[in-house]
């Protein structure tokens, strides 16, 4: 679809004739809406259907063709600006010839990281930064960056005109003039970098009625593979143009100047070795285990900034790409495997928080933001949340005691990321103070007794704060971890230290007993289901909220939605209606589950006195309870 605007719909129609194919643009609504929207794509990934023969084309074949440098592109439509809005035109050989005539002279040949989780293009032969740009895009950005390279000299020539030229007023100080010219060059470089983000073969076209525009490269913190893309005209009065990018940068500068009430300063240093003479108040948003490697993503902007600004900031742009070795993330492709990556993250995070604990002002807690969809893996018959547990382990080993967890709404609900990905709905803020030097070692029994004695009042305090049920469960982990981390060690029956994972399990069991007396008798999946119904009833809801709740209930969305174990829910991108439980296989789902996943949920099906539960949803997390 090119436009879904009512009364101005337009779409691309493929035409196969004479052993070849081309595209025509049609006005109005298509008769085969699904075909027009999906094109030749059969399923998720690189699975397509040949336009000419109808034969399925596997993802493996397409990847092999890409690695052999045999992927190409064909123009589908031209979008122009008319007197009354957008005009959609069929492509012609002249248009295609113009696009193919661009000949960039210099472009970034640095390689993309071998990270299949976040950089999908590498598997299809697009392995260098220059590969994700068309030749015309490269030529445009190159031309703009060449202008920026000469901007400083141009500004200086305006300030100090050639000898014999007239000038009104005194000449400014040379040092101030140089800094002024360099600042203009810097901000122009930012604008060109923003143009680059809107000028790649990862950019797509949005046909939405209120948003007919080119969608930028980074709708998420990754570089996905796009099979149809939009190429913006950087000189037109539309999305992605250089004038608009300059205005955006200028607006930021103006707002900062107008809103300034004083002077501040910032510095860049390594948190693990930071030293400041006076005690400081610390609030930090650390890396989220293996979620995002910002150093890799930063290369996209760095390679262009380096071309424009290296002569002005030689120390900042001294390396060909962004330094990555010390980035504190678990990156198996960079650190030699999962175990080494986990060890790197744990050791580095422990060192960092140990240093921060020494720098922190004793009158104020340290607050740590953690908005993270945990990586789930199966260990010892249960779902282990590696990122969350490793992070907590680092905080505890550094000498901190967790005194609370606060949920805070920090994630934008209407963005591309939240609409199309399983992202968390909120950040979790860990509230920490230094552990007392007089901390004792206790037994597991003493730890459990302390939980049962202290959590009821802590929960009542949270409930008085009117926290939603899904956030209450996560926030309530804080008082439990406060009990666990006040001790030097908690020893199990064998005299071994209780792990963070075991402590979380005990905390969750105690929380469930306090939150709902009867729910404490149910298995983890049923407790999750009851809590979900308390907040959402029969409705599907956000994946992030379901994910947060699953951590509090000591279960996992991945396992509850696993088709191999007769799932009780479906989870995926987007929203959709919940499917009633009377569909085939609905009521006997629990009986078919593996023994380690069978709990009291099975008895709720067999007893007509209890609610019969079956969650199936096409949304991010859907549920629907019915009466048996």
Question: Over the stretch 198-222, which tens digit does the pLDDT of each residue have?
Answer: 999 999 999 888 888 899 999 888 9
Q: Quick one: pLDDT band at residue 581, thresholds 50, 70, 90?
A: very low
Strand ranges for 469-565 from DSSP E = 489-491
Are 407 and 474 contacting, i.e. CB atoms less than 8 angstroms apart? Answer: yes
Are 115 and 149 contacting, i.e. CB atoms less than 8 angstroms apart? Answer: no
Instruction: Give the per-residue pLDDT at 295.
Output: 93
Q: Which of 190-194, 422-426, 455-459, 502-506 has the highest mean pLDDT?
A: 190-194
Question: Over the stretch 313-345, which tens digit does the pLDDT of each residue have?
Answer: 999 999 999 999 889 999 999 999 989 998 999
CA distances from 561 to 556, 580, 606, 617 (A): 9, 16, 22, 10
Instruction: Give the per-residue pLDDT at 462.
Output: 76
CA angle 221, 224, 230 (to 5 degrees): 105
Q: How far apart are CA 439 and CA 402, in angstroms?
A: 14
Instruction: Give the per-residue pLDDT at 449.
Output: 94
Instruction: Give the per-residue pLDDT at 373.
Output: 46
Q: How far apart are CA 206 and CA 455, in angstroms?
A: 50
Question: Over the stretch 92-129, which tens digit does the pLDDT of each residue have?
Answer: 999 999 999 999 987 888 999 988 889 999 999 999 99
Instruction: Give the per-residue pLDDT at 35.
Output: 79
Instruction: Give the per-residue pLDDT at 367.
Output: 92
Question: Over the stretch 402-455, which tens digit does the pLDDT of each residue have?
Answer: 888 777 766 555 444 444 443 444 567 889 999 888 889 999 999 999 999 998
Q: At what angle do helices 174-197 and 242-259 cross, to 10 degrees?
A: 130
pLDDT higher than 80, residue 614:
no
Q: Quick one: pLDDT band at residue 89, thresholds 50, 70, 90?
A: very high
* pTM, two decimal places: 0.74
Q: Per the structure block, which two tokens stand in for 182?
A: 């360099």
Instruction: Give the per-residue pLDDT at 137.
Output: 95
Q: pLDDT higher for 269 or 300?
A: 300
Q: How far apart are CA 140 and CA 106, in angstroms?
A: 11
Identify the CA nearest to 396 among candidates 506, 473, 321, 483: 483
CA distances from 244 to 25, 144, 191, 402, 414 (A): 28, 14, 9, 46, 23
Q: Which of 257-266, 357-366, 570-579 has the highest mean pLDDT?
A: 357-366
Q: How far apart are CA 628 and CA 613, in angstroms?
A: 9
The three-state secondary structure class of 506 is helix
Q: Quick one: pLDDT band at residue 621, thresholds 50, 70, 90?
A: very low
Listed range (159-173, 358-372, 430-444, 563-577) with the worst mean pLDDT: 563-577
Q: How far apart are CA 412 and CA 280, in angstroms?
A: 30
pLDDT higher than 50, residue 153:
yes
pLDDT higher than 80, residue 564:
no
Q: Per the structure block, which two tokens stand in for 481?
A: 């971890």
Instruction: Give the per-residue pLDDT at 204.
Output: 93
Average of per-residue pLDDT values in the chain: 80
pLDDT higher than 60, residue 25:
yes
Q: What is the DSSP string of 60-84?
A: HHHHHHHHTT--------EEEEETT
Instruction: Give the per-residue pLDDT at 546.
Output: 83
Instruction: Give the per-residue pLDDT at 289.
Output: 82
pLDDT higher than 50, residue 382:
no
Listed range (155-169, 306-320, 328-342, 508-522) with the worst mean pLDDT: 508-522
Instruction: Give the per-residue pLDDT at 121.
Output: 94
Strand ranges for 50-141 from DSSP E = 56-57, 78-82, 85-89
Q: What is the DSSP string of 177-192?
A: HHHHHHHHHHHHHHHH
Dihedral sign (CA 215, 145, 242, 175): positive
Q: How far apart are CA 308 and CA 193, in angstroms?
A: 10
Instruction: Give the per-residue pLDDT at 388.
Output: 73
Q: Quick one: pLDDT band at residue 68, thresholds 50, 70, 90?
A: very high
Listed range (39-53, 67-81, 258-272) with the worst mean pLDDT: 258-272
Paired strand residues for 614:
624
Q: How far apart are CA 515 and CA 462, in angstroms?
A: 11
The three-state secondary structure class of 432 is strand
Question: Over the stretch 442-497, which tens digit does the pLDDT of each residue have?
Answer: 999 999 999 999 988 888 877 776 666 666 766 777 888 889 999 999 999 999 99
Q: pLDDT higher for 86 or 566?
A: 86
Q: Per the structure block, which two tokens stand in for 172?
A: 């400014």
Q: Which of 4-18, 189-203, 233-247, 410-424 has the highest mean pLDDT?
A: 189-203
Identify the CA nearest to 447 among candidates 386, 383, 493, 379: 493
Listed range (62-71, 158-167, 583-592) with the worst mean pLDDT: 583-592
Instruction: Give the per-residue pLDDT at 440.
Output: 92
Listed range (192-196, 266-270, 291-295, 581-585) with the worst mean pLDDT: 581-585
Listed range (377-386, 443-452, 568-577) with the worst mean pLDDT: 377-386
Residue range 265-288: mean pLDDT, rounded: 83
Listed range (40-49, 66-75, 436-445, 466-475) with the worst mean pLDDT: 466-475
Q: How far apart are CA 591 and CA 565, in angstroms?
A: 10
Q: At what angle do helices 500-515 and 524-536 cross, to 10 degrees?
A: 50
């Amino acid at each position: 679809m090119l436009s879904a605007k009512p009364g101005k719909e337009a779409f691309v129609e493929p035409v196969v004739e004479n052993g070849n194919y081309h595209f025509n643009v049609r006005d109005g609504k298509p008769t085969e809406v699904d075909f027009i929207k999906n094109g030749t794509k059969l399923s998720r990934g690189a699975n397509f259907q040949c336009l000419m023969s109808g034969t399925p084309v596997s993802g493996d074949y397409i990847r092999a063709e890409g690695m052999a440098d045999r992927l190409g592109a064909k123009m589908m439509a031209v979008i122009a600006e008319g007197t009354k809005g957008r005009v959609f035109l069929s492509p012609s050989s002249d248009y295609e010839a113009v696009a193919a005539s661009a000949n960039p002279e210099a472009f970034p040949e640095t390689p993309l990281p071998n990270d299949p989780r976040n950089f999908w293009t590498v598997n299809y032969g697009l392995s260098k930064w220059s590969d994700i740009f068309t030749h015309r895009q490269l030529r445009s950005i190159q031309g703009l960056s060449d202008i920026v390279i000469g901007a400083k000299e141009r500004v200086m020539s305006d300030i100090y005109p050639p000898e014999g030229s007239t000038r009104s007023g005194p000449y400014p100080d040379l040092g101030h003039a140089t800094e002024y010219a360099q600042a203009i060059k810097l901000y122009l470089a930012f604008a060109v970098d923003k143009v680059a983000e809107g000028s790649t073969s990862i950019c797509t076209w949005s046909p939405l009625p209120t948003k007919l525009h080119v969608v930028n490269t980074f709708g998420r913190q990754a570089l996905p593979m796009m099979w149809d893309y939009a190429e913006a005209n950087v000189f037109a009065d539309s999305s992605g143009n250089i004038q608009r990018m300059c205005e955006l940068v200028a607006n930021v500068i103006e707002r900062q100047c107008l809103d300034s009430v004083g002077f501040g300063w910032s510095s860049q240093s390594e948190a693990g070795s930071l030293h400041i003479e006076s005690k400081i108040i610390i609030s930090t948003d650390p890396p989220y285990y293996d979620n995002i490697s910002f150093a890799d993503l930063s290369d996209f902007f760095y390679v262009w900034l380096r071309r424009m600004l290296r002569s002005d900031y030689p120390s900042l742009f001294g390396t060909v790409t962004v330094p990555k070795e010390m980035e504190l993330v678990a990156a198996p492709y960079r650190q030699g495997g999962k175990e080494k990556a986990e060890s790197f993250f744990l050791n580095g995070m422990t060192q960092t928080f140990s240093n921060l604990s020494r720098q922190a002002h004793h009158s104020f807690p340290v607050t740590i933001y953690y908005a993270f969809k945990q990586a789930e893996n199966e260990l010892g018959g249960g779902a282990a949340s590696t990122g969350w547990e490793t992070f907590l382990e680092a905080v505890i080993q550094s000498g901190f005691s967790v005194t609370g967890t606060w949920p805070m709404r920090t994630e934008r609900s209407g963005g591309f990321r939240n609409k199309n990905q399983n992202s968390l709905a909120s950040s979790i803020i860990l509230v920490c103070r230094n552990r007392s030097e007089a901390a004792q070692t206790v037994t597991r029994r003493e730890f459990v007794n302390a939980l049962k004695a202290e959590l009821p009042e802590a929960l009542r305090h949270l409930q008085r704060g009117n926290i939603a049920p899904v956030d209450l469960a996560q926030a309530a982990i804080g008082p439990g971890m406060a009990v666990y981390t006040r001790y030097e060690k908690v020893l199990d029956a064998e005299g071994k230290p209780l792990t963070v994972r075991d402590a979380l399990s005990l905390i969750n069991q105690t929380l469930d007993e306090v939150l709902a007396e009867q729910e404490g008798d149910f298995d983890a999946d049923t407790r999750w289901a009851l809590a979900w119904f308390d907040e959402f009833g029969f409705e599907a809801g956000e994946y992030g909220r379901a994910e947060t709740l699953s951590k509090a209930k000591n279960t996992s969305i991945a396992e509850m939605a696993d088709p191999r174990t007769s799932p009780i829910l479906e989870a995926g991108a987007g929203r959709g209606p919940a499917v009633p439980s009377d569909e085939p296989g609905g009521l006997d789902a629990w009986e078919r589950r593996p023994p380690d996943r069978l709990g009291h949920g099975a008895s709720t099906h067999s007893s007509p006195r209890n609610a019969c539960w079956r969650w199936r949803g096409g949304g991010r997390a859907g549920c629907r309870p019915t009466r048996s």
